[in-house]
Amino acid sequence: MGYCRVPRKPAVRSPIVPLLAASVALSAAACAARQASAPTPDAGEARPASLLPDVSGLAWLGGDRFLAVHDAKYPDEPGLPRVSLLRLPTGLGGVRWTPLRVAFPARSATDLESVARVPDAGGRVRVLVAESGEEVREKGSTRRIFLLEIEGDDAEVVDQVDWPIPTRNVEGIAVGESGGKRVFVFAERADGEPATEIRFAELSLDPLALGPFRSAGAFASPGPVGPDARPISALEVDAAGVVYAASAEDPDVDDGPFRSAVYRIGRIVTTTGRPVVELDRRPALLATLDGLKVEALAARQRADGTVELWVGVDDEYFGGTIRPLPER
């Protein structure tokens, strides 16, 4: 049988102690009721520790809601979800996960590795999701970027474009805004390479289109490095235009071990009337995550205007999860 935690009693006396004591009693009673009604697994019955699949991309939708994408392949994995709605936990039940049925044009999406919330979408909640474009022997590849509109618990493809430039394997996209213009940012994951190029273009909607791409320069991750490293496994831009990146180490075996780091790497600014991505001279390390493969970043805006950075992981055999990073 599962167990419940109740709030700890404070170590010092204060005027709120009677109220907290009442809260503790109510929590204990509610906990007992949940335990009494919860199904008890049979002795020796094995259950998955987590049902949430890999999180290869993550976007904050508002409140406690995130949209996740998963890197299920076509045609090998037709029954696996491509897009899911995640809600933050309110108790020990964990993250709540709802797979969404999305009607992708022509054929199901394959290898979705990134998603980005579109700012200033005219009161609508819109995201871009991108196929990695990685070519698989004898199966080829598709290189599509979809514009999804989210309404309630539904997601609909409202537009799409093909990648307008050659790509090999994209794991990080992000969308920011500066000077009233939207900016699409992406980078190749660049397996085993010492650096990868950060490129950007102006983004327009209705219809979905990307302008000419420009280079912000090369991002050389301080770590992980080496033959199993990926300089960019995720990208994110917050409401202030700050650019974040994740780097990961994947030994190409599904039981790991993995390793990741998260950095603040630059900012979107406006110069001579045009938005540009300016990379910092030295990336600022925000987090090191040993044992986890970070493939997703999402900036959640708090009520006071500060940013809460979330990671999503794709730990292969161990599944996926999301976590907030401590402030740095």
Which among 58, 73, 86 has a CA at the least distance from the CA of 134?
Answer: 73
Asked whether the predicted pLDDT for residue 125 surpasses 50, the reply is yes
Residue type at position 80: L
How large is the average pLDDT for residues 272-298?
Answer: 97
Model confidence at 251, pLDDT cuts 50, 70, 90, reads: very high
Indicate if the pLDDT at residue 69 is higher than 90. Answer: yes
In this predicted model, which residue has the larger pLDDT, 4 or 121? 121
Q: What is the pLDDT of residue 1?
A: 38
User: What is the predicted pLDDT for the residue at 189?
Assistant: 96
Residue 284 has pLDDT above 60, yes or no: yes
Q: What is the radius of gyration, based on Cα positions, of the chain?
A: 21
Q: Does an H or E element contain 153, and which?
A: none
Q: Are 262 and 245 in contact (CB under 8 A)?
A: yes
Residue for token digits 């430039």?
165
Average pLDDT, stretch 292-308? 95
Instruction: Please list the residues that pair with 314 across neighbouring strands.
Output: 320
Distance (Å, whole) CA 177 – CA 243: 11
pLDDT (average), residues 53-60: 97
**The pLDDT of residue 11 is above 90:** no
Give the residue among 278, 283, 276, 218 at the shortest CA–CA distance from 245.
283
Mean pLDDT of the 100-104 span: 96
In the predicted model, what is the mean pLDDT of the chain?
Answer: 88
For CA atoms 220, 224, 227, 231, the dihedral sign is negative
pLDDT at 50: 80
Q: What angle do CA 134, 135, 140 make, to 5 degrees?
A: 135
User: Which comes out higher in pLDDT, residue 1 or 260?
Assistant: 260
pLDDT of residue 134: 87
CA distance 114 to 150: 16
pLDDT of residue 327: 87
pLDDT of residue 319: 92
* Residue 247 binned pLDDT confidence (cut-offs 50, 70, 90): very high
pLDDT at 85: 98
pTM, rounded to two decimals: 0.86
Q: Provide the pLDDT for residue 136.
A: 61
Backbone angles phi, psi at 286, to 5 degrees: -105, -30
Q: What per-residue confidence (pLDDT) applies to 121?
A: 81
Q: What is the dihedral of CA 298, 301, 305, 309, to 10 degrees?
A: -30
257 prior amide bond cis, ω within 30: yes
DSSP conformational letter for 318: G
Q: What is the dihedral of CA 70, 76, 77, 78, to 10 degrees?
A: 110
3-state SS class at 178: strand
Is there a contact between 109 and 131 (Cβ–Cβ < 8 Å)?
A: yes
Say what percent of the chain tops pLDDT 90. 76
51-83 burial: b if 16+ Cβ within 10 Å, else e = ebbbbbbbbbbeeebbbbbbbbbbeeeeeebbb
Question: What is the Cα–Cα distance from 181 to 274, expressed in whole angstroms?
Answer: 8
Is residue 21 pLDDT above 60, yes or no?
A: no
Q: What integer is the mean pLDDT of 287-297? A: 98
Quickly state the pLDDT bin for 22 (edges 50, 70, 90): very low
If we measure between CA atoms, which residue out of 142, 22, 42 comes closest to residue 82?
142
Task: State both tokens at 5.
Answer: 């935690």
Q: What is the pLDDT of residue 13?
A: 36
* Residue 204 to residue 183: CA distance in whole angstroms: 9
Helix (H) or strand (E) holding 233: strand 229-237
Residue spans per domain, the chain = 1-40, 57-324
Q: How far, CA to CA in Å, does 90 sit from each of 9, 67, 68, 87?
A: 20, 18, 19, 9
Per CATH, domain 57-324 is 2.30.40.10:
no
Give the pLDDT mean for 152-163: 96
**pLDDT value of residue 41:** 59
Q: Among 79, 127, 135, which residue's Cα sits nearest to residue 111? A: 135
